[in-house]
Amino acid sequence: MVEKELEGVATVAATPEAPGAAPEKPAFNRGPRGPRGPRPQGERRPGRRPMRDEPKEYEERVVSVNRVSKTVKGGRKMRFSVLVVIGNGKGKYGFAIGKAAEVPDAIKKALEKARSNTFTFKTSKGDTIAHEIIGKFGACSVFLKPATEGTGIIAGGPVRAILELAGIRNVYSKVYGSRAPINIIRATHHGLSNLKSYAKVKELRK
């Protein structure tokens, strides 16, 4: 009796699956993998862009981001105004304002304007300025004074940004009047553009 039941179970197990049932998927076999050694130096995977190793011509810094609005017939138009400063750290700098509906677009516009409108001046020994000077723009005045090596930049945000990127490392400064970042930047630029070399001052004193 027991043998007949075992035979019945064996025949049921050996019978094929009922029609309409999903066939059993065979196990996936990847096969032998090839040697996976280190990739040669400089070789990159296809489809990827090569990395840019070229150094940037200018360092960039965002000084301020403001949200501005313009009232029109249909309502208010909101935009962003961004002030950026660029410089190569060797006496060349620039600044500009860009406006757009999004901050990244405004920064891009400002950088393009700044690159097309740069200024140069010569630093004195010790990465400082040649003499004391006061730069003015509107209601803002910026006082700049040379400092000994190791002093650093004694200045606030906008003044520090333009002086660092221009290549000045040691200077004293003080801002009087308007505290608007763009006015401070323009007043600092006015002072830097009016700096005179030692030889020129000597000629003027004759």
pTM: 0.69
CB 52 within 8 A of CB 67: no
The predicted pLDDT at position 12 comes to 47
| pLDDT in the model for residue 131 | 87
Candidates 3.20.20.120, 3.30.160.20, 3.90.190.20, 3.40.630.10; correct CATH number of 59-120?
3.30.160.20
Report the half-sphere exposure of 157 (CA within 13 A, side-chain side). Answer: 11
Domain residue ranges of the chain, discontinuous segments joined by +: 59-120, 133-196
- Cα gap 196→129, rounded to integer Å: 9
DSSP of 29-69: ---PPPP--PPPTT---TT-PPPP-PPPSSEEEEEEEEEEE
pLDDT at 186: 94
CATH number corresponding to 133-196: 3.30.230.10
Which DSSP state fits 24? P
Q: What's residue 78's pLDDT?
A: 92
Confidence (pLDDT) at 2: 45
Q: Do the first three CATH levels of 59-120 and 133-196 match, i.e. the same topology?
A: no
CA 140 to each of CA 17, 65, 81, 114, 189: distance values in angstroms, whole numbers, following the listed order: 91, 20, 20, 22, 12
Which residue stretches of the chain have pLDDT < 70?
A: 1-55, 206
**Could you give the angle at the alpha carbon of 123 between the alpha carbons of 161 and 159, nearest 5°?**
20
